[in-house]
Amino acid sequence: MDISSRKITVKEVGPRDGLQNESVFVPTADKIAWINQLSRTGVSYIEITSFVHPKWIPALSDAVEVAQGIERAPGVTYGALVPNARGLERALLANIDDAAVFMSASETHNQKNINKSIEDTFPILKETAQAALAAQKTVRGYISTVFGCPYEGNVKIDAVIRVAENLLEMGIQEISLGDTIGIAHPRQVQEVLEVLLKRFPAERLAMHFHNTYGMALANTLVSVEMGISTFDSAVGGLGGCPYAPGASGNMATEDLLYMLHGMGMTTGIESTKMLEAARFLQGKMGKKFSSHQMQIGE
Amino acid sequence: MDISSRKITVKEVGPRDGLQNESVFVPTADKIAWINQLSRTGVSYIEITSFVHPKWIPALSDAVEVAQGIERAPGVTYGALVPNARGLERALLANIDDAAVFMSASETHNQKNINKSIEDTFPILKETAQAALAAQKTVRGYISTVFGCPYEGNVKIDAVIRVAENLLEMGIQEISLGDTIGIAHPRQVQEVLEVLLKRFPAERLAMHFHNTYGMALANTLVSVEMGISTFDSAVGGLGGCPYAPGASGNMATEDLLYMLHGMGMTTGIESTKMLEAARFLQGKMGKKFSSHQMQIGE
């Protein structure tokens, strides 16, 4: 397949998935200034915060202030993580455009993360998704541990299919397949996508790679070759991995752009502006970002 | 192409290309202990040092001591960088198995690096290669700046072909195609290999990727898909880039192994032993290595 002229949607998840796992609390005003900068890069989607209870994610305890404080740029969809109907209420008050619900493909990770079985999570997400759709919002659904679980190891593809089918039946428009612990390698990505693409159209699927083992870009490459066109990434490679202290975080947006643009694909994003946004936040966080582009010439 | 059962040769170049660009001088005894550790990983080729004049590469001024001090493991080929016939003489006295000669595909880089034009470099390498072959040694030839030059920018594929043809005509058995400044992206690798593989058999070509822009593994993946089976890498991602201070160095051997082995390919190398060798040297250098595997759980 000639992929060189493909149009790729990059969803910037740094303000949520990036900051969520960082120990530094970024002041609200800095978050807002940073997100405003991201809005001017040409990116079409920014996940700006999480409406999970602040007790669980103190780094994002200012969700309402951030959502209400940012400037909304035309053409940009502002999403937020939403755990349930109560979280959605707060998110709607803060006027988010897209609600991202989440659950795991592995029972143990779902239990530890959400404190419920997979079966008991479905009705909660259904209620949330339907309320969001009723409020004229779009909904995306994260599936965690698609490629492996920190507790169970291997995750069966049937478990992924079951969760994905349930989410799509709820009216959720896009499924984001998460390599939560960043262990997938390109062959595994290929094998998983071969199965999933027989059941679900490529337009319904996004990939959410973490770079824990350094595989994120190679995994992205095979995903593009298989027809996937939407990828989540975080400026600077923010995020780390709660199960592997010291490890790399999300796929870095600027490294992803280097590869995609170099290969001739288009994203609508200006790389230099994305790098400026990375440098801005790096200065505020006082932490050296791990992305390759950020290390060049520093 | 199903690449999952392919046999890949990984050539460990850390002791030469890795250390050459590091500012820390690793004491000779530590280099020897480290190379001895590498010899026990199952790797089949180690580039142990350089016989370029120590004035140019002070980090490797102990070439003779290193080459004479290491234990030679059966099944391991010990190579060294050799600039000319005089360098080769020292290398032969130190009993290396394989002589690696080098030049650039771009005129300016060749001039700055070797202080000669490309045309004037050919007879020097020919003399060196023929002397090495006469001494029953194997010879490999590095071509630098295949994918771009820090001075000239784009490098024409015809320039690469011309150098490669000349090297192969000298009797050199393997050409290592160097992305010296680490700027290649997978599409470029694909395009360059499409041209080269029409002229040269895949068995004669190795890829030498640097990870400056984070592309090394994705580039490796497309190279394997195109039929290449030999890759140069350095433990820990050692090396940096003289043209981009602070940037990542060579493709990290342990990250490469994670991808290859995960995908089902075989290298003969035990990853855990390679990681032990990385940790040993990291301790000696007092520097945090940049590879992903080395950051996990640190």
Which 256-275 residues of chain B touch chain A by CB within 8 A? 258-259, 262-264
Phi and psi torsions of B73, nearest 5° = -85, 140
Q: Is A185 on the interface with B (CB under 8 A)?
A: yes
Contact list in B for residue A218 (CB cut-off 8 A) is: 217-218, 220-221, 259
Contact list in A for residue B296 (CB cut-off 8 A) is: 212-213, 244, 246-247
B210 min Cα distance to partner chain A (Å)? 12
- The encoded tokens of residue B111 equal 């001039």
Strand segments, DSSP code E, in B38-136 are 45-50, 77-81, 98-104
Residue B297 — very low, low, confident or very high, per pLDDT cuts 50/70/90? Answer: low
> How high is the pLDDT of residue A243?
80
Q: Is A244 on the interface with B (CB under 8 A)?
A: yes
Answer whether B296 sits within 8 Å of A246, measured CB to CB: yes
Q: Is B247 on the interface with A (CB under 8 A)?
A: yes
Instruction: Select the residue of A218, A246, A292 nearest B213 (Cβ to Cβ).
Output: A292
For the cut 80, the answer to whether the pLDDT of residue B1 exceeds it is: no
Nearest residue of chain B to residue A261 (CA atoms): B185
Answer whether A246 sits within 8 Å of B213, measured CB to CB: no
- The three-state secondary structure class of A141 is strand
Q: Is B2 on the interface with A (CB under 8 A)?
A: no
Q: Which positions of B are annotated as active-site residues? A: 241
Q: Are A90 and A56 in contact (CB under 8 A)?
A: no
Q: Is B225 on the interface with A (CB under 8 A)?
A: no
A10 min Cα distance to partner chain B (Å)? 18
Instruction: Select the residue of B4, B188, B213 nearest A293 (Cβ to Cβ).
Output: B213
Q: Are A24 and A65 in contact (CB under 8 A)?
A: no
Contact list in B for residue A220 (CB cut-off 8 A) is: 218
Answer whether B221 sits within 8 Å of A186, measured CB to CB: yes
Kind and range of the H or E element at A168?
helix A157-169
Using CA atoms, how far apart are residues B147 and B143, in angstroms rounded to an integer?
A: 10
* Sign of torsion over alpha carbons B106, B110, B112, B117: negative
Query: Tens of pLDDT along A232-290?
Result: 999 999 998 788 777 889 999 999 999 999 999 999 999 999 999 999 999 999 888 98
Using CA atoms, how far apart are residues A56 and A244, in angstroms rounded to an integer?
A: 19
Q: Which positions of A are annotated as active-site residues? A: 241
Contact list in B for residue A296 (CB cut-off 8 A) is: 212-213, 244, 246-247
* Residue B95 CB partners (closer than 8 Å, separation 6+): B67, B68
Residue B240 — very low, low, confident or very high, per pLDDT cuts 50/70/90? Answer: confident
| Predicted ipTM beyond 0.90 | yes
Contact list in A for residue B255 (CB cut-off 8 A) is: 213-214
Query: Tens of pLDDT along B84-108?
Result: 999 999 999 999 999 999 999 999 9
Q: Are A73 and A38 in contact (CB under 8 A)?
A: no
Q: How many residues comprise chain B?
A: 298
Could you give all domains of chain A from N- to C-terminal order, each with its CATH number? 9-295 (3.20.20.70)
Task: Work out the angle at residue A148's Cα, subtended by the Cα atoms of residues A265 and A146, and round it to the nearest 5 degrees.
Answer: 55
Tell me the pLDDT of chain A (298 aa) as tens digits.
Answer: 578 889 999 999 999 999 998 888 999 999 999 999 999 999 999 999 999 998 989 999 999 999 999 999 999 999 999 999 999 999 999 999 999 999 999 999 999 999 999 999 999 999 999 999 999 999 999 999 999 999 999 999 999 999 999 999 999 999 999 999 999 999 999 999 999 999 999 999 999 999 999 999 999 999 999 999 999 999 999 998 788 777 889 999 999 999 999 999 999 999 999 999 999 999 999 888 989 999 986 5
Nearest residue to A227 (alpha-carbon basis) of A208, A210, A203, A199: A203
Quote the distance between the C-alpha of residue B58 and its chain's center.
19
